[in-house]
Structure 1
Amino acid sequence: MSDPHIRCATRSDIDTVLRFWRDAAEGTSISDDQDGVARLVGRDPEALLLAEWDGELVGTVIAGFDGWRCHLYRLAVHPAHRRRGVARALLAAAEKRFAALGGRRGDAMVLDDNAPAHRAWEASGYRREARWSRWVKPL
């Protein structure tokens, strides 16, 4: 099977992406709503990458760059399309974007209890950074 087609999301993709995340993503984010995704796409139109096969959404990743660090969120692959290179293709596209922006290192938000995700990240060369913990405060 060929690599999926990778493209940037547009505002017209928001409903499809939100439905996709309900089916394919582990956990939920405080920003998993119309306003959150619209704000992302409006602020950085190249950050939300979509993987498609024959026009069907099969994967996503958010590749955000704040000018200092490269952040990866919402790597999700539909269960029926896992282990076919979708995550690898999405991460390669994200890394290409980061390199073009001058990014030096990608970091990812990965749920501790999501063993299949750990394997996908490791297969793409990412490693757990044991020295750091995530600290959050809802606004």
Structure 2
Amino acid sequence: MTELRIRAASPDEAEAVLAFWKESAQGTSVSDDVHGVTRLITRDPEALLLAVADGLIVGSVIAGWDGWRACLYRLAVLPSYRRRGISTALLRAAEERFAALGGRRADAMVLEANESGRRLWTAAGYEREERWRRWVKPLTD
């Protein structure tokens, strides 16, 4: 692998990001479409961080900051590039972003069934929060 670069995604990369997530991420979201990804990047141009090697998206994390909470979503690495420190580099960049914005704690959304994901988050120093559960309500049909 040549040099790994961590950078913010651009709106014209929405389709490439979706294709990357389809191959590399577990689970789906109601925002998994070009409009949803483009809206995220337009609202917060620094939120969607990409790891790029040889012009190829090999990793991603959404580092969402709303002024109150620092939330991590879609940490994913291309299967053929795993175990090379890419998730560590992405998390470091996300955590630096949060610290610069005044974030005090980062929260990560992790699927219960994602065994490797849970191990990754634990290895990165994150702990499961037992007191809370996520409650959701779809806003569209």
Which TM-score applies when normalising by structure 2? 0.95
Compute the displacement of 1:3 (Å): 6.4
The alignment of Structure 1 onto Structure 2 pairs a total of residues equal to: 139
Compute the displacement of 1:122 (Å): 1.1
CA distance in 2 between partners of 1:28 and 1:65 (Å)? 21
Aligned to 1:8: 8
1:83-94 alignment runs, 5 A limit = 83-94=83-94
Structure 1's unaligned 5+ residue stretches are: none
The question of whether the paired residues in 2 share the 8 Å contact of 1:41 and 1:47 is answered with yes
CA distance in 2 between partners of 1:15 and 1:126 (Å)? 30
Q: Which amino acid aligns with 1:37?
A: V
- Alignment CA distance shift 1:3-1:107 (3 Å): farther
Deviations 1:45-67 (A, max 9, x none): 00000001121110000000010
Structure 2's unaligned 5+ residue stretches are: none
CA distance in 2 between partners of 1:29 and 1:3 (Å)? 31
CA distance in 2 between partners of 1:70 and 1:4 (Å)? 24
Aligned to 1:110: 110
Q: Which amino acid aligns with 1:96?
A: E
Aligned to 1:75: 75
CA distance in 2 between partners of 1:118 and 1:5 (Å)? 25
CA distance in 1 between partners of 2:58 and 2:79 (Å)? 9
Question: Alignment RMSD, CA only?
Answer: 1.1
Aligned to 1:125: 125
1:35 matched to 2:35? The reply is yes
Q: Which amino acid aligns with 2:123?
A: A
Compute the displacement of 1:10 (Å): 0.3
Which TM-score applies when normalising by structure 1? 0.97
The question of whether the paired residues in 1 share the 8 Å contact of 2:50 and 2:61 is answered with yes
Compute the displacement of 1:4 (Å): 2.1
